[in-house]
């Protein structure tokens, strides 16, 4: 096992790490049934998401959350819908050892599987260390960090090409940043359209009934058991940020998702409960309009302008491949 005090490799070679990470990313042998790779849920040719409401892992087990795209995470500071991890490196063994994802029996099992297939590659990149929790995490994180979405029409527009957006998309952008108030939580600055912060939303009535019990029970578990409960139990997943902080004010709060490529990453919301982009925008208008405004204050054509604008956030390479 890693002591955590090993010397840093020198010189760090992110590019070589990322290409080894790419091999691990598509390798189904790192799973309990030999059928699931990172790319099963995060297919690179479909904006790194799977088009399902919630994830499907080994033995067809379902998770509790909608699979986020992995594009543009180099600048993210917290990860997962509840922000329960603070770096790409620390989260990598979560999918590998989660029963509903790769389902490997613990970290040692992952490391020996990696050793069995990639010991030469790891030895070359990390002489004297080989595959460890730390080096496996590093190569996967390097791969993810490299995934930058190709420029969208909106980015071309920002860099001076006025024709890159159709008139309705420009009107939609004005509403998005103006009267509809979307940019309060989905700011365009930085390109990801997320404030990286946590906000309360809608919870289904069926889950509300189970929440209080789940919240009490959760407070007694250690952090590892709490994380495992998120992907196993919908009523725990619905507690949101509370699972991380155990503060009542964080009950049902979720991290604002990026809207880059949102037009090709249906279905929507942390639980995949909203099938189409139009419905997602309607729901956001209903729950999150600035104070004093009601959803009826936006005309149907204004709503469709907002949807048209969101389509301008799609990278050219991402517009195909969905619906698999
Ligand atoms: C069975 C489906 C599945 C597999 C396999 C899977 N993931 Fe995920 N991934 C998810 C889901 C679902 C989430 C969101 C979980 C949550 O928020 O609780 C997620 C979240 C992530 C995130 C955080 C993204 C963000 O915006 O916060 C990263 C990074 C990630 N996965 C990388 C990987 C890597 C690398 C692998 C392979 C080692 C992998 N995943 C395997 C389903 C999967
Ligand atoms: C108060 C903060 C806030 C405001 C204002 C806001 N959003 Fe959101 N948005 C969120 C959060 C948080 C989520 C995730 C909610 C969930 O999963 O339940 C989200 C989810 C979404 C999604 C689904 C994305 C996905 O990948 O699942 C879309 C689309 C969206 N918002 C568009 C908009 C639009 C358009 C507006 C303006 C009308 C808007 N939002 C206003 C915080 C906000």
Q: For residue range 88-115, what is the model confidence (pLDDT) as tens digits?
A: 999 999 999 999 999 999 999 999 999 9
* Nearest ligand to the CA atom of 286: 2
Assess whether pLDDT exceeds 80 at residue 317: no
Q: Decide whether any atom of ligand 2 lies within 6 Å of the 283 Cβ.
A: no
Q: Is 69 in the pocket of ligand 1 (CB under 6 A)?
A: no
Assign residue 162 the CATH number of its domain. Answer: 1.10.760.10
- Model confidence at 1: pLDDT above 60: no
pLDDT of residue 13: 85
Same structural domain, 240 and 192: no
Q: How far is the CA of 255 from the centre of ligand 1 (A)?
A: 15
Q: Are residues 97 and 116 in the same domain?
A: yes
- Residue 289 sits in the same domain as residue 313: yes
Mean pLDDT of 119-128: 96
Q: Which residue has the tokens 């030999």?
A: 34
Query: Is 116 a member of any domain?
Result: yes
The CB of 55 under 6 Å from ligand 1? The reply is yes
Select from 68, 97, 230 the residue to mutate for testing ligand 1; criterion: most ligand atoms less than 8 Å from CB.
68
In a domain, 3, yes or no: no
Query: Once rounded to an integer, what is the mean pLDDT over residues 58-85?
Result: 96
Q: Is 88 near ligand 1, meaning CB less than 6 Å away?
A: yes
Question: Quick check: is 2 in a domain?
Answer: no
- Domains contained in the chain, number: 3
Same-domain check for residues 116 and 192: no
Mean pLDDT of the chain: 92
pLDDT, tens digit (0-9, with 9 covering 90-100), for 188-200: 998 899 999 999 9
Q: Which atom of ligand 1 is nearest to 270's Cα?
A: 17
pLDDT at 35 over 80: yes
Nearest alpha carbon, ligand 2 atom 9: 256
Ligand nearest to the CA of 255: 2
Nearest residue (CA) to ligand 2, atom 26: 268
Q: Which atom of ligand 1 is nearest to the CA of 79?
A: 27
Residue 307 lies in a domain: yes
Least confident of 1-10, 62-71, 153-162, 165-174: 1-10
Binding site annotation covers 185? yes
Q: Give the Cα separation of 117 and 183 in Å (integer).
A: 47
- Regarding whether 123 and 49 lie in a shared domain, the answer is yes
| Residue 71 contacts residue 147 (beta carbons within 8 Å) | yes
Please say which residue of 145, 164, 189 terminates a domain: 145
Task: Categorize the per-residue pLDDT at 292 as very low, low, confident or very high, splitting at 50, 70 and 90.
Answer: confident
Domain edge (last residue) among 145, 163, 181: 145
Q: Is the model more confident about 324 or about 248? A: 248
Residue 4 placed within a domain? no
Do 177 and 306 lie in one domain? The reply is: yes
Omega cis (within 30) before 165: no
What range does the domain containing 31 cover? 14-145
Residue 29, pLDDT > 80, answer: yes
Q: Are 154 and 314 in contact (CB under 8 A)?
A: no
Asked if residue 162 and residue 45 are part of one domain, the reply reads no
Sequence-separated (6 or more) residues with CB below 8 Å from residue 91? 79, 80, 85
Say whether both 54 and 189 belong to one domain: no
Q: What's the rounded mean pLDDT across residues 247-257?
A: 93
The number of the ligand 2 atom at minimal distance from the alpha carbon of 184 is 5
The mean per-residue pLDDT over the stretch 68-93 comes to: 96
Residue 9 inside a domain? The answer is no
Residue 240's pLDDT band, with cuts at 50, 70 and 90, is very high
For residue 8, pLDDT beyond 80: no
How high is the pLDDT of residue 4? 43
Share of the chain above pLDDT 70, in %: 94
Look at residue 214 in the predicted model and tell me its pLDDT: 86
DSSP 97-121: H-TTTT--SSHHHHHHHHHHHHHHH
Q: Which two tokens stand for residue 267?
A: 């279905």
């Amino acid at each position: 096992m890693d002591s955590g005090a090993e010397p840093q490799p020198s010189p760090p070679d992110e590019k070589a790490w990322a290409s080894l990470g790419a091999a691990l990313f598509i390798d189904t042998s790192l799973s309990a049934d030999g059928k699931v790779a990172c790319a099963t849920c995060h297919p690179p040719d479909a904006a790194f998401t799977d088009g399902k409401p919630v994830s499907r892992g080994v033995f067809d087990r379902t998770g509790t959350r909608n699979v986020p795209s992995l594009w543009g995470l180099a600048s993210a500071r917290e990860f997962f819908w509840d922000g329960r991890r603070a770096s790409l490196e620390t989260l990598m063994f979560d999918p590998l050892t989660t029963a509903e994802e790769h389902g490997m029996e613990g970290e040692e099992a992952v490391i020996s599987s990696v050793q069995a297939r990639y010991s030469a590659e790891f030895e070359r990149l990390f002489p004297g260390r080989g595959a460890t929790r730390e080096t496996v995490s590093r190569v996967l994180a390097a791969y993810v960090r490299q995934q930058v979405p190709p420029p969208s029409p909106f980015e071309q527009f920002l860099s001076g090409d006025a024709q890159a957006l159709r008139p309705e998309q420009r009107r939609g952008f004005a509403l998005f940043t103006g009267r509809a108030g979307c940019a309060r939580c989905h700011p365009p600055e930085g390109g990801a359209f997320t404030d990286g912060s946590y906000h309360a939303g809608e919870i289904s009535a069926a889950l509300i009934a189970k929440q209080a019990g789940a919240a009490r029970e959760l407070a007694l578990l250690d952090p590892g058991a709490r994380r495992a409960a998120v992907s196993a139990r919908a009523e725990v997943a619905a507690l949101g940020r509370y699972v991380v902080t155990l503060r009542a004010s964080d009950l049902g709060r979720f991290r604002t998702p990026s809207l880059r490529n949102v037009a090709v990453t249906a279905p929507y919301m942390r639980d995949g409960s909203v099938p189409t982009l139009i419905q997602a925008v309607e729901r956001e208008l209903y729950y999150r309009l600035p104070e004093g405004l009601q959803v009826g204050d936006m005309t149907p054509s204004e709503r469709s302008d907002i949807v048209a604008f969101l389509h301008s956030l799609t990278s050219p390479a991402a517009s195909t491949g969905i619906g698999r």
